[in-house]
Amino acid sequence: MPDIIEGHIQAVVYGGDGLTHHENTTVFIPNTIAGEDILYRITDKKRGVLRGKLDEVSKPSAQRVSPPCAVSEICGGCALQHMHLSAQADLKTSWVLDAFKPFITDTTDFTPLLPHHSGFAGRRRVRWFREGHKLGFRKRFSHDLTHTHHCNALTENLDKLRSTLEALSLPASIQSIQATQLHNGTHIILESEQTCPDDFTAPQTPHQQWWWRKLGSPSIKALLKPTQTLFDRIALPENQHMDIEIGANDFVQGHQQGNQMLIQQIIVWSQGAQRVVDLFSGCGNLSLPLAQALDAQVHGAELNPASVKAANNNAKRLKLDARYQTMDLFGRFDLESFIGADTLILDPPRKGAKRICQHIHQLFPKQIIMVNCDIAAGARDAKALSVAGFTLKALRPLDLFPYTGHVETLSLWVS
């Protein structure tokens, strides 16, 4: 049995673990809050650092609360449920301020993060793993599963869907199930290492489109035909809205309300833009609303061919002046078609947009709107923009990952 050690949590780092030191070595301990005195045990060394398990909080923070989820301390999905909602918002705000501190000036407009409301946090994308008839999530730093009768990180509809799925007679070979809740229905993807049994028929349920994916293959098989068309409804200025079709394989932001706030801010920052370039465009989530709200011309690029196809199909259906092309934005690509944008949107994956930012001086955009789901990558890209002569005009954190140790960062840069 490891020895019990006394410790003092100096800070909570990005990702949600508390930081302390033992014999001049950094130790990360989950479920802790800055300023707390604790008793803990060192459990192992992962990713080059020591990790510990909380044994007791001898001096708790005033921000400590009872987690709304019974398994939050062991589940790998949420890292901050033991913390008051306002403290979670303050912590995530501080992470963004610290990462972008070198680029913030007296004229930078900063909007702090507001705490989300209590109850269901509204995550609309989920992947459950299966063990027998039960569905659950991976434990932290483990492939073992944890089960709960209630997950308040999700939307209420997805939380109810889990119990419905557990009650169905699904093929035993199914290892995991993905679900994405959209405005008019839910995509449900059954995942297995085997092909779909010939005698399996998906339930004929309204507002649900069922799919089968053989693990290791990017393609999916529709289990119900004709397939239902599901879409994300996005509110636009002047009480308008638009519906973007989202396929089962298409990326959509995991938090609908947060995605709406993201789009609204981009529309405000892009007022007057007539030419928009959208790099890492996905299925056009950020730029199609600009094409409609501002009557702007959009040119986008994305690595995933399926997303490019979906974006072009949406643009055509909505009769918008927008076109998207498949392009590896991490490699060598032709810059010419992206030169001279009024607004250049960069929404890269977790590793950032290093190559584009290094060549930003060749694109001559009037302004850049950058969206980062990883703070470290965002700070690296911000440094490249700053070196290229761009100034941080506005900065805003958005909580698209409630209860987790992650935060989205939205920044506006001008030359």
CATH code for the domain in which residue 46 is found: 2.40.50.140
Answer yes or no: do 312 and 276 share one domain.
yes
- Residue 180 CA, chain-centre distance (Å), reads 13
pLDDT tens-digit readout, 105-133: 999 999 999 988 777 899 999 999 999 98
What does the alpha-carbon distance between residue 65 and residue 68 come to, in Å, rounded to a whole number?
9
Given a cut of 80, whether residue 390 has pLDDT beyond it is yes
Q: What is the mean pLDDT of the chain?
A: 94
Mind giving me the DSSP string for 113-181? PPPPPSS---B-EEEEEEETTEEEEEBTTSS-EE--S--TTB-HHHHHHHHHHHHS---TTEEEEEEEE
Answer yes or no: do 216 and 295 share one domain.
no
pLDDT tens-digit readout, 295-317: 999 999 999 898 999 999 999 99
Given a cut of 70, whether residue 1 has pLDDT beyond it is no
What residues are paired with 372 via a beta bridge? 409
Q: Which residue has the tokens 């779909």?
A: 196
The whole model's pTM is what? Answer: 0.93
pLDDT of residue 70: 87
> The domain spanning residue 284 has which CATH number?
3.40.50.150
Answer yes or no: do 297 and 369 share one domain.
yes
Answer yes or no: do 53 and 97 share one domain.
no
Looking at residues 170-182, what average pLDDT do you find?
97
**Residues 371 and 334: beta-carbon distance below 8 Å:** no
Ramachandran class of 258: left when φ > 0, alpha when ψ lies in -120 to 50, beta otherwise: alpha
Helix 375-387 × helix 85-100 angle, to 10°: 30
Looking at residues 163-187, what average pLDDT do you find?
96
Report the catalytic residues.
373
Looking at residues 95-108, what average pLDDT do you find?
97
Answer yes or no: do 147 and 194 share one domain.
yes
Domain that holds residue 337: 87-118+251-414
What does the alpha-carbon distance between residue 367 and residue 185 come to, in Å, rounded to a whole number?
37
